[in-house]
C-alpha cells in the first residue's frame, strides 16, 4: 500500500461501511499499516449491519467515526461543520455546492454533505491525506474533500466499482485525475483503468495476508472429500454453477460434501437449486463464518472452488481473497479465468482453471 509516511501525520480511511464482514482485505490492510507505524483514522459513512465481526477487528487501534445516518434527519449535525467549511472560502464553497446541485442526483448531494461534515475534523487533527476503498461512494467523498479543503486523496479500485454497468466512466476519470495515486488489486484492473485515465499513477498491489495466521497448520483433509467455497451469495460468485457441478459428481458416483460459506441475496435461489437437484445432505449453505473459523476449516477441504462469472450487469470479482487465503494454507484451488484470477491461478501450475 502506498501512503504518506508516518512523519506526514495521520491518514484517514474513508469507507462506506466499517467493519464489513466480507471485506477482510481492508481489515488486513489497516492492521498492516498500523504494524508499520502509520497513524490511521477511520471514517465510516454507514453503521455496520452484518451482525458478526472478525476477531481481528479488536486488534485495530484506529479510532472509528460514524457519520450521521441521514443527511435530512440529522440536518443540524451537518449544519455546524458546513458553516465552518463555508467560512474557509465562501466563493469556493458556493461554486462547489452549485456544481453539485446542478447534477440533480441526490447521491452527489449526500456525498458533498458527508465531505463537509468530515472536513473540519481532518483540519483539527492535522490530517492532509485520505484514502478510500472502492471507486464509488467513499471515493466521491474523498474527491469532495479534496475540492472543499485541499486534502489530497487516493483510492483503491476493486471490481464492482469499476466494471458494473452503472459506472460512469467520465466520473471515474475525474476521480482518477484529481487523485494523488490509484491502487488496484490486479494487473487486469490496472490495464482497464489505464484505458480510462492515463494521467494518474495506478499501482497494482495484491491483497495481502498475515502469514502468521495463514500458513499450513498440519490439519488434514476430511473424508469424504470436502469441496469448500466462500463468498457472498451473489451472481458473480457463480455458486449455481458449483451446485450443478456437484450434481454431476453425484451422478458419477463420487463421494463428497460441499460447503458454500457466506450470505447474500441469492441464498433462497441457491437453496431451491440444491433441493431441485436433490443435493440435500451433500451441499450445504452454513452461512457466514468469521475468519478465525475459516482458517480452521480451509485445511479440511480437498479443494477450494471459486467459480466466478461475469454477472448480467457487468459485475465481477477482481481477485477473490478466498483464493489467496486457501493457497497460503496449502489448499488446492480451482477457479475460472475471470479478470485477475489467472494472475494467481495458473492452470495446472498453481491450481486448475
Look up the pTM and report it: 0.93
6-204 with 226-343: one CATH topology?
Answer: yes
Give Cα 281 distance to the centre of its chain.
Answer: 32
Q: Taking the CA of residue 173 as centre, how many other CA atoms within 13 Å lie in the half-sphere pointing to its CB?
A: 9
CA distance 179 to 177: 6
Q: What are the beta bridge partners of residue 130?
A: 12, 153
The pLDDT of residue 6 is above 80: no
Q: Which of 122, 88, 145, 132 has its CA nearest to residue 9?
A: 122
CA distance 226 to 141: 43
Residues whose CB is less than 8 angstroms from the CB of residue 153 and which lie 6 or more positions away in sequence, other chains included: 129, 130, 131, 132, 139, 142, 143, 145, 146, 178, 179, 180
Q: Taking the CA of residue 249 as centre, how many other CA atoms within 13 Å lie in the half-sphere pointing to its CB?
A: 17
Per-residue model confidence as pLDDT tens digits over 88-120? 999 999 999 999 999 888 999 999 999 999 999
Domain ranges across the chain:
6-204, 226-343
Top-level class of domain 6-204 = alpha beta
- Note the residue count of the chain: 353
Top-level class of domain 226-343 = alpha beta
Model pLDDT, residue 8? 59
Per-residue model confidence as pLDDT tens digits over 69-91? 999 999 999 999 999 999 999 99
352: left (phi over 0), alpha (psi -120 to 50) or beta: beta
Mean pLDDT of all residues belonging to the chain: 94
Per-residue model confidence as pLDDT tens digits over 270-315? 999 999 999 999 999 999 999 999 999 999 999 999 999 999 999 9
Per-residue model confidence as pLDDT tens digits over 194-205? 999 888 999 999
Average pLDDT over residues 49-55: 85
Name the DSSP letter for residue 313. Answer: T
* Residue 178 cell numbers, joined: 484529481
Amino acid at each position: 500500500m502506498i501512503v504518506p509516511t508516518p512523519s506526514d501525520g495521520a491518514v484517514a480511511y474513508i469507507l462506506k461501511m466499517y467493519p464489513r464482514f466480507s471485506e477482510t482485505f481492508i481489515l488486513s490492510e489497516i492492521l498492516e499499516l498500523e504494524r508499520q507505524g502509520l497513524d490511521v483514522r477511520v471514517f465510516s459513512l454507514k453503521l455496520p449491519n452484518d451482525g458478526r465481526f472478525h476477531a481481528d477487528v479488536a486488534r485495530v487501534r484506529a479510532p472509528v467515526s460514524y457519520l450521521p445516518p441521514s443527511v435530512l434527519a440529522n440536518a443540524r449535525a451537518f449544519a455546524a461543520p458546513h458553516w465552518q467549511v463555508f467560512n474557509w472560502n465562501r466563493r469556493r464553497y458556493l461554486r462547489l455546492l452549485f456544481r453539485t446541485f446542478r447534477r440533480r442526483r441526490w447521491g452527489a448531494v449526500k456525498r458533498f454533505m458527508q465531505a463537509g461534515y468530515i472536513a473540519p475534523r481532518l483540519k483539527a487533527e492535522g490530517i492532509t491525506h485520505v484514502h478510500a476503498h472502492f471507486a464509488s461512494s467513499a471515493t466521491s467523498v474523498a474527491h469532495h474533500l479534496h475540492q472543499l479543503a485541499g486534502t489530497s486523496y487516493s483510492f483503491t479500485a476493486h471490481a464492482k466499482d469499476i466494471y458494473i454497468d452503472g459506472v460512469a466512466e467520465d466520473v471515474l476519470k475525474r476521480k482518477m485525475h484529481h487523485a494523488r495515486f490509484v491502487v488496484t488489486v490486479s494487473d487486469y484492473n490496472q490495464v482497464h483503468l489505464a484505458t480510462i485515465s492515463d494521467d494518474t499513477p495506478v499501482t497494482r498491489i495484491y491483497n495481502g495476508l498475515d502469514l502468521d495466521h495463514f500458513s499450513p497448520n498440519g490439519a488434514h483433509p476430511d473424508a469424504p472429500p470436502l469441496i469448500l467455497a466462500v463468498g457472498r451469495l451473489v451472481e458473480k460468485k457463480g455458486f449455481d454453477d458449483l451446485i450443478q457441478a456437484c450434481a454431476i459428481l453425484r451422478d458419477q458416483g463420487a463421494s463428497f460434501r460441499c460447503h458454500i460459506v457466506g450470505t447474500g441475496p441469492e441464498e433462497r435461489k441457491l437453496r431451491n437449486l440444491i433441493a431441485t437437484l436433490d443435493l440435500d445432505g451433500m451441499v450445504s449453505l452454513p452461512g457466514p463464518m468469521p475468519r478465525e473459523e475459516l482458517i480452521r476449516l480451509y485445511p479440511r477441504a480437498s479443494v477450494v472452488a471459486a467459480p466466478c462469472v461475469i454477472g448480467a450487469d457487468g459485475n465481477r470479482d477482481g481477485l477473490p481473497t478466498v483464493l489467496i487465503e486457501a493457497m497460503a494454507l496449502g489448499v488446492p484451488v480451482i477457479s475460472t479465468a475471470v479478470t485477475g484470477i489467472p494472475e494467481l491461478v495458473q492452470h495446472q501450475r498453481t491450481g486448475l482453471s
